């Protein structure tokens, strides 16, 4: 059990899930509802745990909305460089996120800490990833790097990375940037990993269920 102080950052991935697969594990299983993976990083002298959330492909899970977006420190928009439609839909995802932030402000004002200062949603940290650049050696590309960069400039200079989750190209650089941006907007929240696990162990010992 680590006694080290860590910073937890909640990152959410948004994009057309039919085209974008930004999964890091269990790729052969469908996501149900919302799921997350964690990734540990060191940013300068700080230990950071990224909690990266992704929603399921099926549209009806979009209604998990508010719960999914709550407490986000950074929003990662992902599109597939080989599919124009996934790029065209970025505006929808961007707006959808900001809309949810405003709903949160109305319904859960007390739960919102200083992050994602919704009085000016434009300052919320976004980042754009153009994924699947490895596909067909880049020959099937439908969206140019320039087009994507221009879009980012129009959105408060959103940082942009071209990645391949499959070939592990630029993924680390992207997550480094995500963490840095989120840390700048950080809420005061530190997590200690001791304490709770002791309690869980006790419960485990009590249950003798073998099914």
Partner 1 sequence: MRWLKSECADSYYQVKPECKDVPATRFKIKPGRTLSVRKWLAAFSPNGQLDIRKTLKRIHRGGIHPSIRGEVWEFLLGCYDPMSTFDKRKQIREHRRAQYVRWKKECSEMFPVDGRGKCITSPVITEDRNAKSTEIVTGNGPLDMKVTKWLLTLHQIGLDVTRTDRNLVFYEKQENLSKLWDILSVYAWIDIDVGYCQGMSDLCSPMIILLEHEADAFWCFERLMRRLRENFRCTETSIGVVTQLGHLATVTQVIHPKLHQHFETLGGGHYLFAVRMLMVLFRREFSF
Judged by the rule CB under 8 A, the positions of this chain that interact with partner 1 are 8, 10, 26, 28-36, 51, 53, 56-58, 60-61, 63-64, 66-68, 70-71, 111, 189, 191, 196, 199-200, 210-211
Nearer to partner 1, 62 or 123 (CB): 62
- Do the beta carbons of residue 136 and residue 167 sit within 8 Å? no
3-state SS string over 136-167? HHHCCCCCCHHHHHHHHHHCCCCCEEECECCC
CB of 211 to partner 1, least distance (A): 6
**In this structure, what are the phi and psi dihedrals at residue 188, rounded to the nearest 5 degrees?**
-85, 90
**First-last CA distance in the chain:** 28
The angle subtended at Cα 12 by Cα 43 and Cα 83, nearest 5°, is 110
CB of 167 to partner 1, least distance (A): 21
CB of 161 to partner 1, least distance (A): 24
Nearer to partner 1, 31 or 117 (CB): 31
Nearer to partner 1, 29 or 122 (CB): 29
Nearer to partner 1, 122 or 206 (CB): 206
What number of other Cβ atoms are within 10 A of residue 85's Cβ? 13
CB of 152 to partner 1, least distance (A): 26
């Amino acid at each position: 059990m680590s006694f080290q102080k860590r910073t937890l950052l909640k990152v959410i991935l948004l994009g057309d899930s039919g085209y974008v697969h930004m999964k890091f594990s269990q790729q052969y299983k469908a996501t149900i509802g919302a799921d997350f993976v964690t990734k540990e990083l060191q940013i300068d002298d700080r230990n950071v745990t990224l909690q990266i959330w992704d929603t399921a492909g099926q549209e009806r899970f979009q209604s998990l909305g508010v719960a999914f977006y709550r407490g986000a420190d950074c929003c990662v928009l992902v599109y597939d460089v080989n599919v124009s439609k996934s790029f065209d839909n970025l505006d929808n995802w961007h707006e959808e996120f900001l809309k949810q932030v405003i709903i949160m402000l109305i319904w859960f004002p007390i739960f919102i800490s200083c992050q994602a200062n919704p009085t000016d949603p434009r300052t919320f940290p976004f980042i754009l990833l153009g994924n699947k650049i490895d596909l067909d050696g880049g020959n099937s590309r439908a969206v140019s790097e320039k087009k994507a960069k221009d879009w980012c400039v129009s959105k408060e200079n959103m940082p942009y990375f071209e990645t391949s989750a499959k070939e592990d190209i630029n993924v680390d650089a992207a997550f480094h940037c995500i963490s840095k941006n989120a840390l700048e907007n950080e809420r005061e929240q530190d997590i200690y990993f001791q304490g709770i696990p002791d309690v869980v162990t006790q419960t485990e010992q009590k249950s003798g269920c073998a099914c």
